[in-house]
Chain A
Amino acid sequence: MISEKNNNHISKNFSSISKKIFSFQEIGILIPFILLILMFYLINHAFLSAASVFSVLKVLAFYGIVGVGETLVILGGDIDISVGSVAGFGAVFSTFLMMKFSCFGLLNTSYEWVGVIGFMIITLVVCSLIGFLNAFLIVDMKMNAFIVTIATLWIVRGAVMVVTNGNPIYPLPSFFMDTIGTNAQIPITKIGNDVIGISLPFILFILIVAVFEILLRRSKWGRNIYATGSNREVAKIAGINTRKVRYMNFIILSMLASLSGMLVAAFTRQGYPPIGDGWEMIIIAGCAIGGISLAGGYGSMIGTLIGVFIMNFVTTGLVMVGINTFLQQTAQGIIILLAVYIDIFRRNRKVLS
């Protein structure tokens, strides 16, 4: 009997330690991810080369910045499918303003940056109105979030295409194109004539993730978001202003989306209207992979970070391994299904334990 007790004690310790390791909610996803990366590397060593890795990091930053905002909205119990078109709008609107008003007449001068930054801020404010509209229809008019944001997607994208006729806005102020765009990086290595480094979007992405993760975990605002997403009625009874929480989420998301769109415009050196096309699904998939429950109230920014990483690295990896480019979309679809299934499996296991 005594030896039984001892055994129980030892095995309890062991199981509690392993529970601590494995209960890190994102671990479930990391293992297959790391295995996949290894597999890609073995098939094509170029996959983990500096050029490849940093380029993927740059691309995933664009999705990731929006993903942070989308995570907030989903955590709060809603969803926003219009983000891609808001990014495109941000890109086009900001560049249009910059060129139309030649940066307050400062174009091609050393004070050009005032105009650039100024118009970027104006674009952020205008795009927050789109978020406000979404929030109004979803929160106050009580409409289905999917339907509203799909409609907004159409409206914004259609409007952008109508106004620009599909023509890109080019050229752009050099401060925008060069300083914010192509040259904005911490150089790491040099390959031929190209300097590879950690790009500005990626730095911004990590910063934004860090800031919002801290806010989510440590502030009342963050706790309110989780509460609203978990059970809106109870949150309301507890005195949380769920309306304000949800409005803020949508507005922040729109601002982040337009920021990302502007960064893309800076990098591609033109205000290209189709920017943002198809982003929404990749971003939501990234969130879903990262463990954000679509029902709301569960998940973290770190999860989104991992999800975005996985989505982009796996997609790039598949291409580098030689899978038909067109199958990329198919692969993304399968990844979404797998990720969501793992998430549900994880959640059921937690409930059972």
Chain B
Amino acid sequence: MLDSKLKNVKTENAGLRIIKKAFNIQEVNIIIPVIVLIVIAVILNPMFLNLDNLAVIGKRMSMWGLVAIGEGLIILTGNFDISVGAMVAFDCVFFAVAATTWHLPLVIAIVLAILLTVTLSTISGLLVVKLKINSFLTTIAMLFICKGLSKTMTNARPVLIAPAQGSDLLLHFGQQEPLKMSWTFFFFIGLIIIFQIILKKTVYGRYIYATGDNSNVAKLAGINTDFIKLSVFIISGFLIGLASIVLISKEAVANANYGTGWELQAIAAVAIGGISLAGGAGSMIGVLIGIFMMQIMTNILILLQINLNMQSVVLGVVMILATILDVRRRRKILGNID
């Protein structure tokens, strides 16, 4: 009986195994739903395959996708960051105000904007790691703080970038579209690949997995879990800053409502893409696939001209389904654990 069981294991689809081994990806199983989703999308509205539409998908994806990379890293280490969207809004507003009202040169404004999100994320990280405050609470508080500050700075009105010196350079940069796809898309894919390599091929990456999987054991094994947990917050902060600059370069206006829902989209994408919400498992390719699926779904809803409110209902259902998948996946690996 044991023999036949072993035989069954060996005869797993050889093709899949080769791909899995080649790319060290466990998420091959997720590509099927993606293909299914694309087929559904095309059936529902053939316009989906329109090059312009695909370009829009790529553009939108690459903005909140940057944020999702950071969120994925934080979730891998076992924490959450709910403030991400509000930080984007605050950063955009800050940059806009710095460039226009404070008349700072563009480059300085960009640097300051990125420094701002890095600092805010570092503060969140320190509160979570050093003071051991629950990451949800900390980042909820940070969300409030950022939302309040962005509304204050803008007086609830959008801020135009145009009057800033060098703004046309930034906007020109933002509108570039090599190969009909926005350059930000390639930038985003590049970052995904870089972080995938970091996660899978470096010691730092392995430490991240260890910390997320079982923080206490990792600590006993000599890994500085505090540093790992803090570092992903800092990296996320940097990525959020980048995302904000990219967003501004495309929209030319800073609005205190930017980034709303990005954090939840990011968490949903991460959950769909195979990063266990309990931390310690998954990869960037998975996150990419999750982001891809979320964006396609949003796109389908828009093409079907579905009410925005209905969209949030659908997104909510998707999140629940994604999490059920996540729990099932975890159970398969760990056995029936509470």
Taking Cβ atoms with an 8 Å cutoff, the residues of A that contact B are: 137, 141-144, 146-148, 150-155, 157-159, 161-162, 232-233, 281, 284-285, 288, 294-295, 324, 326-334, 336-337, 340-341, 344
User: Which single residue of chain B is at the shortest CB-CB distance from A232?
Assistant: B338
Confirm or deny: B271 has a beta carbon within 8 angstroms of a beta carbon on chain A. Answer: yes
B134 with A340: CB separation less than 8 A = yes
Residues of A within 8 A of B326 (CB): 143
CA distance A337 to B137 in the complex (A): 8
Bits for B310-335, please: 1 = Cβ < 8 Å to A, else 0: 11111111011001101100000000
The residue that B141 contacts in the complex, of A144, A159, A326, A337, with Cβ under 8 A, is A337
Main secondary structure of the interface of B (DSSP, over half): helix
B133 with A344: CB separation less than 8 A: yes
Find A150's partner among B264, B314, B317 (CB 8 Å cutoff). B264
User: Considering residues B131, B155, B323, which has the most beta carbons from chain A within 10 angstroms of its beta carbon?
Assistant: B323
Whether A141 and B131, one on each chain, are in contact in the complex, defined by CB atoms closer than 8 angstroms, is no
Interface size counted on chain B using CB atoms at 8 A: 45
Task: Indicate the member of A143, A157, A337 with the most B CB atoms within 10 Å.
Answer: A337
Chain A proximity of B315: nearest CB distance (Å): 6
Contact of B138 with A330 in the complex, beta carbons under 8 Å: no
User: Can you offer 11 A-B residue contacts whose CB atoms are under 8 A?
Assistant: A153-B316, A233-B338, A281-B143, A294-B136, A326-B152, A327-B148, A329-B148, A332-B144, A333-B142, A336-B144, A340-B137
Q: Does B180 contact A (CB under 8 A)?
A: no
Main secondary structure of the interface of A (DSSP, over half): helix
Top 5 A-B pairs, shortest CB-CB distance: A330-B148, A333-B144, A329-B148, A154-B316, A158-B313
In the bound assembly, the distance between CA atoms of A330 and B156 in angstroms comes to 14
> Chain A: which residue is nearest B123 at the CB level?
A337
Residues in chain B near residue A142, CB distance under 8 A? 327, 338
**Min distance, Cβ B174 to any Cβ of chain A, angstroms:** 28
Question: Are A329 and B144 in contact, with the CB atoms below 8 A?
Answer: yes
**Bound complex: CA A348 to CA B267 (Å):** 32
From the candidates B145, B313, B323, name the one contacting A330 in the complex (CB within 8 A). Answer: B145
Min CB distance, A135 to chain B, in Å?
14
Which one of A148, A155, A333 contacts B145 once the chains associate, using CB atoms below 8 Å?
Answer: A333
Check A147/B131 contact, CB under 8 A, given A154-B313, A154-B316, A288-B137: no
A137: which B residues are within 8 A, CB to CB?
A: 320, 324
Chain B residue nearest in CB terms to A153: B316
Is B189 part of the binding interface, using a Cβ–Cβ cutoff of 8 Å? no
Interface centre among B147, B314, B320 (most CB of A within 10 A): B320
Contact B323 A154 (CB under 8 A): no
| Given A333-B146, A341-B133, 18 further pairs, Cβ under 8 A | A141-B324, A144-B277, A146-B136, A147-B319, A147-B320, A148-B320, A148-B323, A154-B312, A159-B313, A285-B141, A328-B148, A329-B144, A329-B151, A330-B144, A330-B147, A330-B152, A334-B145, A340-B137
